[in-house]
Amino acid sequence: MPTNLSDLKPAEGSNRARKRVGRGTGSGHGKTSGKGSKGQKARSGPGVPRWFEGGQLPIQKRMPYKRGFTNIWRAQWEIVNLDRLAELDLDEITPQSLFEAGVTRGLQFPVKILGSGEISKAVNISAHAFSESAKTQIEGAGGSVTVIERTDRWTVARPRSRRLPLNREMKAARVGKAGGPSRSEFEA
């Protein structure tokens, strides 16, 4: 007997009827519509997130190491690999030449050369830092490595205190302490 389009149907158990809640007791999902009885999770709206602990101080605040943190004062390094330097085809590579070639974002960022890729040409490279593998590959190809002193704003850690230098001097002079000068004597 030939098959018709009306004979086609999904495999047994692959499709299930939608749960029609709140349609009377005869539906099997009447009264509380499968939400149990009362409480925040029975109401309409988003409910509570999975990490909610009933209002007690959550674990990521009790133990910050569980969450981690982003160091907003970390040094913004410019990372350049050897294969990128090989593409430039220059004899002398400096942070200035890298910036002009569009490899780095700016001259205010320190440059570090990493050893990913290969370099076959003898190149003189000046940068703020080199990985060991990059240094051996550059010197192995007959090039030279020069480490430049960093002058960027990340060389010194930012002070945590917002106190004025005057306050530090007063503390060092033991102003107001036993045996130390008074504030008026210190400022005179």
Chain mean pLDDT for the chain: 89
Beta-carbon neighbour count of residue 139 at 10 Å? 13
| Residue 89, pLDDT above cutoff 90 | no
**Mean pLDDT, range 30-57, rounded to an integer:** 90
**Mean pLDDT, range 10-39, rounded to an integer:** 90
Domains of the chain with CATH codes: 78-147 (3.100.10.10), 161-188 (no CATH)
In this predicted structure, what is the pLDDT of residue 164? 63
Q: Residue 120: what are its φ and ψ, rounded to 5°?
A: -110, -20
**Mean pLDDT, range 146-173, rounded to an integer:** 79
Nearest in space to 102 (alpha carbons), one of 119, 80, 126, 74: 80
- Give the E-state strand segments of 64-160 in sequence order: 78-81, 92-93, 111-114, 124-127, 129-130, 144-147
In this predicted structure, what is the pLDDT of residue 155? 86
User: pTM for the whole thing?
Assistant: 0.53
CA-to-CA distance for 177 and 187, rounded, in angstroms? Answer: 15
**Mean pLDDT, range 45-55, rounded to an integer:** 90
| Residue 162, pLDDT above cutoff 70 | no
Asked which of 31-40, 129-138, 163-172 is least confident by mean pLDDT, the reply is 163-172
